[in-house]
Structure 1
């Protein structure tokens, strides 16, 4: 399988994924780009959040959990010297709703991180990934 990217600006690149989707990336102005698109490291973090979120939603669906709101955020740190890799990532899973089944939610998050999320599996060999679940608006 081949995947390529083409330069379309000073530091801007365009890629078409093997599934036919467009991805644009650019460097910040301080790094010689125009800041017209996410940086490659921002897309890596977005991929991690997307991967684990899709797992969690799929697993909860199979557990017959519905009627909840969900979002994810990440707190992270970079190395100060090159290569400026992530040194730590904390994923924060946000759930809100009434009568949330915390045991099922925790199981879904753990299954994603321990078994299913391929992006997390790749990254955790080089960066400390932790996770936290926050519950809001509960009425139990």
Structure 2
């Protein structure tokens, strides 16, 4: 069982989540609702989780294929439903960028395996009706 402690840290909407290993994430509300803009929005953390989850999958797959990744970043853009409560993510696009001595076809296959099969966060988002698209770019060293 996973345990996360979430503690309010100001007089508004700022919280710090701490896992059992002491790792923390700070969240806050937007200024427009009375927050102080001092951390990720809670729904942004879900996107960060998507990036982290798929990133772990992809690196694991590529390491097994002996691909030498020197740099790996991703940009995640997303849109939420409008006029609904709760306002779920309806569309996500991930742009994966790799640098290194890597095979572009292996990169694409690893990304597809992660997003379509292995990433639990992607599966959770899809189960809620979100469309996830992605592309991959390889920059030679």
Shift in Å at residue 67 of structure 1? Answer: 4.5
TM-score normalized with structure 2 length: 0.87
- TM-score between both structures, scaled by the size of structure 1: 0.87
Does the CA contact (< 8 Å) of 2:69 and 2:99 recur in 1? Answer: no
Q: What's the counterpart of residue 85 of structure 1?
A: 88
* Aligned counterpart, 2:24: 22
Deviations 1:34-77 (A, max 9, x none): 01111101111111111101111111011000044221111211
Q: 1:66 aligned to 46, 65, 68, which one?
A: 68
Unaligned runs of 5+ in 2: none
Shift of 1:84: 2.1
Instruction: List runs of 5+ in structure 1 lacking aligned partners.
Output: none
Q: Which has the higher strand share?
A: 2
Q: Which residue is equivalent to 1:131? A: 134
Structure 1 range deviating more: 65-74 or 33-42: 65-74
SS of the residue aligned with 2:127?
coil
Deviant stretches of 4+, over 4 Å: none
